Structure 1
């Protein structure tokens, strides 16, 4: 378990250090954007949604957005978000 957590931690740190950018195809008609975050939570004898007394790195999320300009007056957009809930990544 500790080995897989360390692997995720190393992967997320490596991805977090990359420059954020968007991909555009055909002069701005199609745009693909994404984001990711990861957090460590610890507290003093109180359990919260992200922070626990023992501390953990189980709070992370990833999002991906796609936008397509169909015409000068019509735009279609969709966003997908993944967040680990109560079990970590």
Structure 2
């Protein structure tokens, strides 16, 4: 599988809210970052940065992660994060 890293090492408040939503979702399903790595092709190092809220999510990464985690679509995870961040 091709590498799906994100070179941007800065994040926004929305990225941090999205990270919190996704961490809650994958841990709630008893998944781990190693599983997400194998399902998405995103390196564990990049997953660690994303899930710690230290890097920006690309649309592609969010789509891959939503599919791997399940339960919701990428737009639904984003909408939840926007609600937590105060966007309507």
TM-score normalized by structure 2? 0.29
Higher normalized helix content (fraction of residues): 2
**Higher gyration radius (CA):** 1
TM-score by length of 1: 0.28
